[in-house]
Chains A and B, each alone.
Chain A
């Protein structure tokens, strides 16, 4: 199976620190999409970003930024100046056709 690996099970930081969540994926497809979702303590899944495999430009959205490196099959997510409200489980995912496969998630805890 083509896996998505989030090596960091849990990360704990202090507010205002920057934090990077790693994501490495396997794929045999030439065309695919990469995603990040956030699952706050309330349990819902919040879509954060989708990235096409042909677009390796990094993206920034406010305090969030994503670094896509096709050569290393990585799609890392950085939160700058973290806040307590960022505390959540973050899932990285990769599509293969119509199916979206997720990593196991990274539990981020931001302490005040």
Chain B
């Protein structure tokens, strides 16, 4: 009974490189959410996706960040030209999409930008 799977668990990138974070939702879940947790801070909503659609990206930075959830395969959060301020834990969550159903979180990807 696999939960939400995120990989990699840890990711180190140099400034200017690209970071790709992957998330496979729980079986039967078609809704994916990405949250960011900066060091010593709480969880901030970034984006909500359904298969092939971005539903709400109001929490995404306007530049360098993008997300997708293709028909086949995991959801991808992509950060281009990373900067030190992007260092954070990025959590993916999934739900069945039933109104207000619980979000089940993955273990997160810890991105470190050197």
Q: Is chain B found bound to chain A in the same assembly? A: yes
Task: Find out whether the CB atom of B103 lies under 8 angstroms from the CB atom of A43.
Answer: no
A2: min CB distance to chain B, Å:
12
Q: Please indicate which of the listed interface residues B35, B43, B105, B110 has the most CB atoms of chain A within 10 Å of its own CB.
A: B43
Asked whether A45 is an interface residue with its Cβ less than 8 Å from the other chain, the reply is: yes
Size band of the B side of the interface?
20 to 34
Are A43 and B42 closer than 8 Å at their CB atoms?
A: no
Q: B42–A100 contact, CB under 8 A?
A: no
Q: Name the residue on B nearest A43 (C-beta).
A: B108
Given A43-B107, A98-B31, A98-B48, A105 and B102 touching (CB < 8 A)? no
> Is there a chain A Cβ closer than 8 Å to B100's Cβ?
yes
Give residues 90-107 of B contacting A (CB, 8 Å).
91, 93, 97, 99-100, 102-107
A-B contact count (CB 8 A): 55
Q: A47-B102, A98-B55 are in contact. List 6 more A-B contacts (CB 8 A).
A: A35-B103, A44-B107, A47-B104, A50-B100, A100-B33, A100-B45
Which B residues are closer than 8 A to A by beta carbons? Answer: 31, 33, 35, 41-45, 48, 55-56, 89, 91, 93, 97, 99-100, 102-108, 110
14 A-B pairs with C-beta separation under 8 A = A43-B89, A43-B107, A45-B91, A45-B93, A47-B102, A47-B103, A47-B105, A97-B99, A99-B45, A99-B56, A100-B45, A102-B35, A102-B44, A105-B43
